[in-house]
Structure 1
Amino acid sequence: MTSRVRSSGNLPEGYIPFRQVREELPTPELFVVSDAVTLEALHLPGPEPGIVFVHGGLGSLWNPFPQLYAFRGERALLTYALAGNGGSSTRPEQTIEGHVADLKNLTDFFGLDRPIVHGHSYGSAIAIEYAKEHPCRGVVLHAGGDHDLTPAWEKPLLRLFMALRLYRVVPETILMQTLAQWAACHKDTPRSLIEDFLHANPMPRRRSAWSTVAKAFWGYDGRSDIDRVEVPALVIHGPADQIVSIEVARGTGRRLPHGEFQTIDRSGHISMAERPAEYSQLLHWFIESSL
């Protein structure tokens, strides 16, 4: 069963501070997955079906750290930094198809047969396209969907940061905390949780992480052949999410042939951290129903 630890202070049930997670989980390593790409990844052995976590734009392999902690030992777990992010090498071409190929090579490397692919935000595009092309047991999409994943303010902001290289000089606490409190999180999400989550997932200082978003994900629309995702699919959304519309997520759940749409109250773009106990319970239910 998933962890039912009650956190101290004003943190929500099931939230484990990132420092504790890092102390108890192994250190990620680099793995050569093709002639051109090396990925930074963390693999935790366990029973199948395994869960593969795909982070979103400007994210990191530690995005799902509450679930890595909750499901350790219960399922095989794999999380990694997309090419161009974290310690991973940069892709020769930044395309969703290329990232899907990287993911397939990585799952093959670890012998994960028909995993459950969990995509967060822009990572949902990779999860959807992976499920169209490769065998998997199920798909989980959080804070994402099959189109319209880019809020109106994102393109001018990212273009400004890339043109002026502001990602090198702007204090990440100012930018990321502002975005988290204004657009990503529920108004009641504790500031201490936001700070801890951003400590686990700091703003990237590599230009390649920013260009990954612009070159691979802007304009993604996977609706035309979404019926190729023939496995169980769970779409999870936080109603307070101001980055990806809840209507996009709800519509994705309807279009998926075997889709289920669920919301988690009092959460937004990072429900997996804002309401970790509820999120892990929902994920656990989905896995058991997909066996």
Structure 2
Amino acid sequence: MSYLLKEEHGFKYIDEGEGSVLLLLHGLMGALSNWEDVINEFKAEYRVIIPILPIYELPLLTTGVKTLSKFVHKFVKFKKLDSFVLLGNSLGGHVALIYCLAHLERVKALVLTGSSGLYENAFGGSFPRRENYDFVKEKVEYTFYDPATATKELVDDVYQTINDRTKVIRILAMAKSAIRHNMAKDVHKIKIPVSLIWGKNDKITPPDVAEEFNVLLPDSELHWIDQCGHAAMMEQPAEFNRVVRAFLEKLKLKM
């Protein structure tokens, strides 16, 4: 990925393009590169910002989804962002939901794809055979509809991450925090427009999770992407971007 990673005031982030802000939040095992096709699609018309969430840097006792939400708010204040569209995948979606509950006045709209917050078959739940490369490869492939999406580079990165003791302890703590922090009773308070973009073949946050979000969120729309697993922006980027663009155009008409 060729984008400049900026480092300022303890934050690491990508900031590309100009215009209205799209703030993107990656998942537990995600990376900035997961959003590469989204950056390429929208940077000519929008300012696309992606902070690295400090999943591996937090003190173990404070490692959790609420702490990540507080980190996002510090970043938002540092960058002086307002009236932005927030996009989150997996754990990033969960953090986005918590952020919206606390700071709804700053967020214009929300896009969730494969978001945790209700139920997830967590990849980070346990790693009984993390030293076995083929086991890790199989777990990464499980994330996608097409196993070929799990490139060797991606598998190598996950393998290296979960075999780092300090990182895997925090991954497990974060995954447990996400499971404990169920949002079913709270998301009805998020009254901004929400686009749910879900892989029909998501095995981590299955389709019934998307359907439940659609019922609970008062101003939501649900879009399915066929032959797609947990990370639609990676596996079916053209269709994901098409749905996001249509949602953004609809927001412009409402203004």
Common topology (TM > 0.5): yes
AA partner of residue 94 (structure 1): T
User: Could you tell me which of 35, 39, 48 is aligned with 1:68?
Assistant: 39
Post-superposition shift, 1:208?
5.3
**Residues in 1 aligned to 2:79 and 2:36: alpha-carbon distance in whole angstroms:** 20
Count of matched residue positions in the alignment of Structure 1 and Structure 2: 244
Between Structure 1 and Structure 2, which shows a larger proportion of helix residues? 2
Structure 2 CA distance for partners of 1:52 and 1:40, relative to 1, 3 Å: same
Normalising by the residue count of structure 1, what TM-score does the alignment of the two structures yield? 0.76
Q: Counterpart of 1:62 in 2: which secondary structure?
A: helix
Structure 2 CA distance for partners of 1:95 and 1:190, relative to 1, 3 Å: closer
Post-superposition shift, 1:179?
1.9
> Deviation per CA, 1:181-224, whole angstroms, max 9, x where unpaired?
3x2222xx372x42177179644243354244235312221111
Normalising by the residue count of structure 2, what TM-score does the alignment of the two structures yield? 0.85
Query: What is the correspondence of 1:85-234 to structure 2 with a 5 Å cutoff?
Result: 85=56, 89-91=57-59, 93-134=62-103, 135-151=106-122, 155=125, 157-158=126-127, 160=128, 166=130, 169-171=131-133, 174-181=134-141, 183-186=142-145, 189=146, 191=148, 193-195=149-151, 198=154, 202-203=158-159, 204=161, 205=164, 206-207=167-168, 209-234=170-195
**Residues in 2 aligned to 1:170 and 1:200: alpha-carbon distance in whole angstroms:** 12
**Residues in 1 aligned to 2:80 and 2:155: alpha-carbon distance in whole angstroms:** 31
Q: Counterpart of 1:137 in 2: which secondary structure?
A: strand
Q: Counterpart of 1:126 in 2: which secondary structure?
A: helix
Q: Counterpart of 1:140 in 2: which secondary structure?
A: strand
Report percent identity of matched pairs: 18
Q: Counterpart of 2:34 in 1: which secondary structure?
A: coil
Uncovered stretches (5+) of structure 1, i.e. residues with no partner: 1-21, 33-37
AA partner of residue 137 (structure 2): Q
Give the structure 2 partner of residue 272 of structure 1.
233
Post-superposition shift, 1:225?
1.7
Contact 1:150 1:218 in 2 (8 A): no
Contact 1:60 1:201 in 2 (8 A): no
Give the structure 2 partner of residue 52 of structure 1.
23
**Residues in 2 aligned to 1:259 and 1:114: alpha-carbon distance in whole angstroms:** 18
Structure 2 CA distance for partners of 1:216 and 1:62, relative to 1, 3 Å: farther
